[in-house]
Amino acid sequence: MTKFKLEYIWLDGYTPVPNLRGKTQIKEFENFPQLEELPLWGFDGSSTKQADGSSSDCVLKPIRVFPDSQRANGVLVLCEVMMPDGVTPHPSNKRATILDDDSAWFGFEQEYFFYQNGRPLGFPDSGYPEPQGKYYTGVGYGAVGDIARQMVEEHLDACLESGINHEGINAEVAKGQWEFQIFGKGSKRAADEMWMARYLLQRLAEKYGVDIEYHCKPLGETDWNGSGMHANFSTAYMRDVGGKEYFEQLMSAFEANTEDHITVYGPDNHMRLTGLHETQSIDKFSYGIADRGASVRVPHSFVNNGYKGYLEDRRPNSQGDPYQIASQILKTIATVPLKKAAVA
């Protein structure tokens, strides 16, 4: 038997954006534990805005297991929060009620800032570094500083070793700002892996004295870049059947549901979706081929393949909850009728 360190991880009840929480228990298993072998566990919901002091127990229900390469015999146990009965989802548990479809694929591009002492990593103590320009995909100390790349590389390895489908990295437009991409089949899988990737990033940055700032416009009304979480998506129908007519119907449905999308696309998004800096205004909906100033960017490949493939919704922001973002995209897609013969 081996003693495994089980890190139970969940989302708390803070609004508008939940925080990641985690605590460890040690248990013995013959081999690396399977999901079915992991027991329910509890925590004090009164400390996480998930219960009152009078009846504060909430239940952690394991839903996905990953090896934790950063810890000897470590296991990352992603959980849903349940009511004390263990079967009713807690109101803060969005994952329990979202739409899912294994044939819907999602690629999230998570942008974020490294922060130290309340400023982006690499910013001087007061004032600003050289203006934006050479930071995006930059190389060299002047562009990225000394520890950012180390953290980003460590994060990449940690994700890959955990089986998280990390797909790439780039330094972003502002100094101290980076991006990574996570791709998954099914809204739950993709979003689970995004939350785990966020967890790993936050945890490994601790030892560098660095925080992860996910706010979509941490430097306020300046020219400094905001952070998004572009959601690339495709359903089986979009990939296999598609067509211009269906695409146009889909975009009409997106336009009709603009408000519902914006509601779950992350807080303070009006600060970022201004119509400037490769964004569309928050109250407008537009799409365009290779257009980074549109709400939805249509890749060249999509048009070249006869309006088949994936689309990029550029509106979700870096603080958005990938569960709710993916679910809203699926909800809107579900309002558009499919040609029956083609589906069969």
When asked if residue 234 is in the footprint of ligand ADP (CB under 6 A), the reply is yes
259 Cβ partners below 8 Å, 6+ apart?
Answer: none
Angle between helices 322-334 and 244-256 (to 10 degrees): 120
Binding to ligand ADP in span 126-155, by CB under 6 A: none
C-alpha 109/C-alpha 314 separation (Å) is 10
When asked if residue 193 is in the footprint of ligand ADP (CB under 6 A), the reply is no
User: How many CA atoms within 13 Å lie on the side-chain side of 159?
Assistant: 27
115 vs 302 by CB, closer to ligand ADP: 302
Q: Pick the binder of Mn ion from 7, 109, 193, 213 (CB under 5 A).
A: 109
70 vs 170 by CB, closer to ligand ADP: 170
The two three-digit tokens of residue 287, written as one number: 């799409």
- How many residues lie near ligand ADP (CB under 6 A)? 15
Residue 183 touches which of Mn ion, ligand ADP, none (Cβ within 5-8 Å per kind): ligand ADP
When asked if residue 254 is in the footprint of ligand ADP (CB under 6 A), the reply is no
SS3 label, residue 171: strand
When asked if residue 230 is in the footprint of Mn ion (CB under 5 A), the reply is yes
Residue 232 touches which of ligand ADP, Mn ion, none (Cβ within 5-8 Å per kind): ligand ADP
225 vs 235 by CB, closer to Mn ion: 225
The two three-digit tokens of residue 143, written as one number: 């562009």
In angstroms, what is the minimal distance from the CB of 31 to Mn ion?
A: 38
Three-state SS string across 24-91, please? EEEEEECCCCCHHHCCCEEEEHHHCCCCCHHHCEEEEEEEEEEEECCCCCEEEEEEEEECCCCCCECC
193 vs 312 by CB, closer to ligand ADP: 312
CA distances from 237 to 183, 227, 241, 245, 252 (A): 18, 30, 5, 13, 17
When asked if residue 312 is in the footprint of ligand ADP (CB under 6 A), the reply is yes
Question: What are the two backbone dihedrals, phi and then psi, of residue 194, each rounded to the nearest 5 degrees?
Answer: -65, -45
When asked if residue 313 is in the footprint of Mn ion (CB under 5 A), the reply is no
When asked if residue 237 is in the footprint of ligand ADP (CB under 6 A), the reply is no
Binding characters for ligand ADP, 105-124, by CB under 6 A (x = yes): xxx-x---------------
In angstroms, what is the minimal distance from the CB of 180 to ligand ADP?
A: 9
Tell me the H-state helices in 147-243. 148-161, 187-205, 236-240
C-alpha 315/C-alpha 332 separation (Å) is 15
- Residues 168-178, buried b or exposed e (16+ Cβ, 10 A)? eebbbbbbbbb
Question: What are the two backbone dihedrals, phi and then psi, of residue 165, each rounded to the nearest 5 degrees?
Answer: -80, 65
59 vs 231 by CB, closer to ligand ADP: 231
Binding characters for ligand ADP, 157-186, by CB under 6 A (x = yes): ----------xx------------x-x---
When asked if residue 320 is in the footprint of ligand ADP (CB under 6 A), the reply is no
Q: Which positions touch ligand ADP (CB under 6 A)?
A: 105-107, 109, 167-168, 181, 183, 230, 232-234, 309-310, 312
Q: Which positions touch Mn ion (CB under 5 A)?
A: 109, 179, 230
